[in-house]
């Protein structure tokens, strides 16, 4: 069985995905394909001027993997230019990194994600409750290592369930929480602990929620659910 390809992280998907020589009909051109992660390797090394170690850290791969990706990208671009081929940019094993709003160069490391869940696996559905969720599936990116934090004790509390659950997330070293409804007190407790919050997520599995987060489709909340 072939070894699965390690996911590479990129800053954004390309806005332009096709290049061709001027004046030659597309039907007459041979086409080369550059993957999105190969384009990111070119950007980091040849446009940003990062070292292999720095660039590999951005893409969350080994230096060896980065070097191999960069070499493949340069070879593909060189062939397209020298042979007069069309160049298509698509595909590859990649996910979007989370970047701060202040600068596009400083990556925010969001590696440990807790998703309120109706069960202990990636295929269980997201529990729309935060404070009284039965538990949380904790996923470590990029390797998708899974752990489970039981939250049953908070379900029996008359008051303060949200704050207690937030403290439990902090003790587990969680950096991001994904849930449905996060009340004001729980929101404040999570924020005070430095934990980012993605809310209004329900009707999907934990796996689907994590995939949406990785693709950059879940914004960080700036206020609690009312």
Beta bridge partners of 94: 8
Region(s) of the chain under CATH 1.10.10? 8-96
Beta bridge partners of 145: 140
Q: What is the pLDDT of residues 165-218, one digit of tens each?
A: 999 999 988 999 999 999 999 999 998 888 999 999 999 999 999 998 888 888
Calculate the dihedral angle through the C-alpha atoms of 137, 58, 36, 206, rounding to the nearest 10 degrees.
Answer: 10
pLDDT for residue 89 is more than 90: yes
Q: Is the CB of residue 178 less than 8 Å from the CB of residue 114?
A: yes
Region(s) of the chain under CATH 3.30.420.130? 112-214
In the numeric block, which tokens belong to residue 45?
A: 């090394």
In the CATH hierarchy, which top-level class contains the domain 112-214? alpha beta
Weakest mean pLDDT among 7-21, 75-89, 91-105, 142-156: 91-105
User: For helices 184-192 and 161-171, what crossing angle results, to 10°?
Assistant: 20
> Around 14, how many Cα atoms within 13 Å sit in the side-chain half-sphere?
20
Whose CA is closest to 90, among 142, 45, 38? 38
- For 110-147, what is the HEC assignment? CCEEEEEECCCCCCCEECCECCCCCEEEEEECCCCEEE
Q: What is the pLDDT of residues 129-175, one digit of tens each?
A: 999 899 999 999 877 889 999 998 887 776 778 999 999 999 988 99
**111 falls in which pLDDT band (50, 70, 90)?**
confident
Compute the distance between CA of residue 12 and CA of residue 117 in angstroms, rounded to an integer.
29
Mean pLDDT for 23-49 is 92
- Longest Cα–Cα distance of the chain, Å, equals 73
Specify the CATH number of the domain 8-96: 1.10.10
Tell me how crowded residue 217 is: count the other CB atoms within 10 A of its CB.
Answer: 12
């Amino acid at each position: 069985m072939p070894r699965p390809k390690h996911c590479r992280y990129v800053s954004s998907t390309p806005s332009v995905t096709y290049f061709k020589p001027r004046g030659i009909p597309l039907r007459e051109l041979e086409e080369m394909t550059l993957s999105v992660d190969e384009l990111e390797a070119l950007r980091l090394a040849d446009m940003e001027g990062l070292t292999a170690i720095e660039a590999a850290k951005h893409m969350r791969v080994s230096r060896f993997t980065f070097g191999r990706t960069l070499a493949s990208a340069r070879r593909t671009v060189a062939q397209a230019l020298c042979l007069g081929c069309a160049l298509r940019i698509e595909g590859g094993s990649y996910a979007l990194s989370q970047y701060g709003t202040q600068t596009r160069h400083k990556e925010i490391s969001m590696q440990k994600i807790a998703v309120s869940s109706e069960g202990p696996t990636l295929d269980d559905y997201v529990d729309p409750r935060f404070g009284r969720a039965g538990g949380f599936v904790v996923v470590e990116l990029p390797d998708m290592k899974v752990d489970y934090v039981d939250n049953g004790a908070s379900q029996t509390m008359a008051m303060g369930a949200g704050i207690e659950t937030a403290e439990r997330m902090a003790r587990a070293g969680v950096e991001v929480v994904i849930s449905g409804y996060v009340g004001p007190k729980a929101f404040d407790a999570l924020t005070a602990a430095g934990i980012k919050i993605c809310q209004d997520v329900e009707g999907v599995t934990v796996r689907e929620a994590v995939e949406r987060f990785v693709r950059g489709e879940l914004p960080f909340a700036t206020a609690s659910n009312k």
